[in-house]
């Protein structure tokens, strides 16, 4: 999705909303987002996006840990 958005930005086409990108990151797509930021240099200078991305990663990891703990009974 980041690559599509980057391509659309270059071509002055309709962009993907940041909220949609954040929702995709929250649903587990954050490793791809990090790669896109590094490799495609997309959203790399936008501090507000990166701040929300950080909290999205933190939330995602917390949810995974809580699910894991509930499964193993800790």
pLDDT digits (tens, 9 = 90+) for 21-49: 999 999 999 999 999 999 998 888 889 99
In the chain, how many domains are there? 1
Range of 37's domain? Answer: 2-72
Question: For residue 15, what are its two tokens?
Answer: 């962009």
Q: Is the pLDDT of residue 74 over 70?
A: no
pLDDT at 32: 92
User: Tokens 């240099």 identify what position?
Assistant: 41
Residue pair 68/34 in contact (Cβ under 8 Å)? The answer is: no
Output the CA–CA distances (angstroms, integers) from residue 60 to 7, 8, 9, 32, 63, in the order listed: 27, 28, 28, 14, 5
Q: Is the pLDDT of residue 7 over 90?
A: yes
Return d(Cα 44, Cα 20) in angstroms, integer: 17
């Amino acid at each position: 999705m980041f690559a599509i958005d980057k391509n659309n930005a270059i071509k002055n086409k309709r962009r993907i909303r940041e909220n949609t990108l954040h929702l995709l990151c929250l649903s587990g797509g954050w490793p791809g987002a990090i790669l896109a930021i590094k490799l495609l240099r997309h959203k790399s200078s936008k501090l507000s996006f990166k701040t929300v991305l950080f909290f999205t990663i933190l939330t995602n990891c917390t949810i995974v840990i809580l699910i894991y703990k509930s499964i193993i009974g800790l």
